[in-house]
Chains A and B, each alone.
Chain A
Amino acid sequence: MNPNNHIEDNEDFKNPFSFLSGEKASEQKKEGERFDVPEGYFDALENEIACSIITDKLQISKAEPYRVPVDYFEWLPTIIQERITEQKKAAFTFERLKALLVPKFWIPGLAVVVIMLTICIRVMDPGQAAALSAYAAETALNEGDKKEVIENLELYGIEESEIQDHIAVSAKAADIADISADKKAVIDYLIENEADLNTISTE
């Protein structure tokens, strides 16, 4: 026994996990390369084991438990195409509106907006409305003007007969009003004196 051959000198003792080191691992890898497996083999195996827990151990079928309406997959592409067509139409309208905002339309568009705004401001201006009222008051006929109109009928193109008719109608209405007033005075007198028309006439 070599007294110098201490156990501490043994590489495996020094590093019991040396198989994890690069050198050893690469050696193992080289060893493994001789027995290659198909790509994705371990993934598939892992999945198979996990699935077998459910399908075999629990006796559950992997078949789809849901159904769809009859011919659903025959109609679905058509429905999707219809919806896309609708969206394309909507997008087309939006695009046309957006096209109006491109620079070549800016100047005429801006001019139209300015004109419209000017018109609106003029119409909506309260000062303008007040000026219109003042003009109306100023141009209204006063008594002097009316007299002038009557005196110069020919000047204003009014027929004399029309004026005469108007005066006649007005006078008749005034007479009726006077008669009514007289009658009322007689009735009041009779009531006050507790008399009637027959007594007065015999007296």
Chain B
Amino acid sequence: MEEYTDKELVEMFRIEASRNTAFNQIVRKYQRRVYWHIRRLVIDHDDADDVTQNTFIKAWKGLDGFKEDSQLFTWLYRIASNESFTFLKQKKAKLNIPFDDVAYGLQISMQDDNFFTGDEIQKKLQKAILTLPEKQRIVFNMKYFDEMKYEQMSKVLDTSVGALKASYHIAVKKIEAFVLNGSQEVSED
């Protein structure tokens, strides 16, 4: 299959005859990155599957209005992040529980997940990540697992580079404290 650039794919999408082909290629190109980004936030595979599908459906609806001054993948990440946060908020509202308990619920999901194959220390890392506040968690995941640049993250999360650096630094310290001592009490100064 011929590989097209993002720009070419967006242009193909705007032509009715090649719309489906172009979108199919966009999904194939970015599905893994989008899925894993979502999966690390919502933990459960079925939830991640739903949110991934919704993300691409929203992308389909909005791709006509996509401005090419931003990268396609940054734009998809942004939709995926928003969809994940919306999903977690709905989950929180549905169960009528505070966010800390949602994090606890996610930890339980992780433990019960048949698709979790990590060793004990990886499990501990995942638990540590789940104790982080939403924003720090997403920043940590994007930097640590996706190895994204702060400038790209800044576009996805609409936050300054400085704030992202600080957020990542605190997240790393908290995770270190959690993994070593089983606590996450780190000064945020």
By the criterion CB–CB under 8 Å, are B27 and A77 in contact? yes
Does A68 touch B at the CB level, under 8 Å? yes
Count how many chain B residues have C-beta atoms less than 8 Å from C-beta atoms of the other chain.
43
Binary contact readout B164-178 vs A (1 if CB under 8 angstroms, 0 otherwise): 010011001001100
Q: B53, B122, B143: which contacts A79 (Cβ < 8 A)?
A: B53
Q: How many A-B residue pairs have CB under 8 A?
A: 94
B: residues with CB less than 8 A from A are 20, 23-24, 27-28, 31-32, 35-36, 39, 45, 49, 52-53, 56-57, 60, 113, 115-119, 121-126, 143-145, 147, 149-150, 165, 168-169, 172, 175-176, 179-180
CB-based nearest A residue for B165: A46
Segment of A7-15, A55-63, A122-130, A153-161 in the binding face: A55-63
The closest CB in chain B to the CB of A84 belongs to B60
Q: Is the CB of A60 within 8 A of B125?
A: yes
Instruction: Evaluate whether A68 and B35 lie within 8 angstroms (CB atoms) in the complex, with A53-B172, A77-B27, A87-B57 already known.
Output: yes
What's the Cα separation between A66 and B114 when bound, in Å? 9
Counting CB contacts under 8 A, is A108 at the interface?
A: no
A58 near B180 with CB under 8 A, answer yes
CB-CB < 8 A to A40: which residues of B? 149
Secondary structure of the A contact surface, majority rule? helix
* A58 CB contact (under 8 Å) in B32, B36, B143, B176: B176
B34 to chain A, nearest CB (A): 10
Within 8 A of B (CB), among A50-105: 50-51, 53-54, 57-69, 72-73, 76-77, 79-81, 83-84, 87
Q: Establish whether residues B53 and A83, one from each chain, have CB atoms under 8 Å apart when the complex forms.
A: yes
With A58-B176, A84-B57 known as contacts, the answer to whether A50 contacts B168 (CB < 8 A) is yes
Extra contacts besides A54-B144, A58-B176, A63-B118 (16): CB < 8 Å: A50-B168, A50-B169, A54-B125, A54-B175, A57-B176, A60-B122, A64-B145, A67-B117, A68-B45, A68-B115, A73-B31, A77-B28, A80-B27, A81-B23, A83-B53, A84-B23
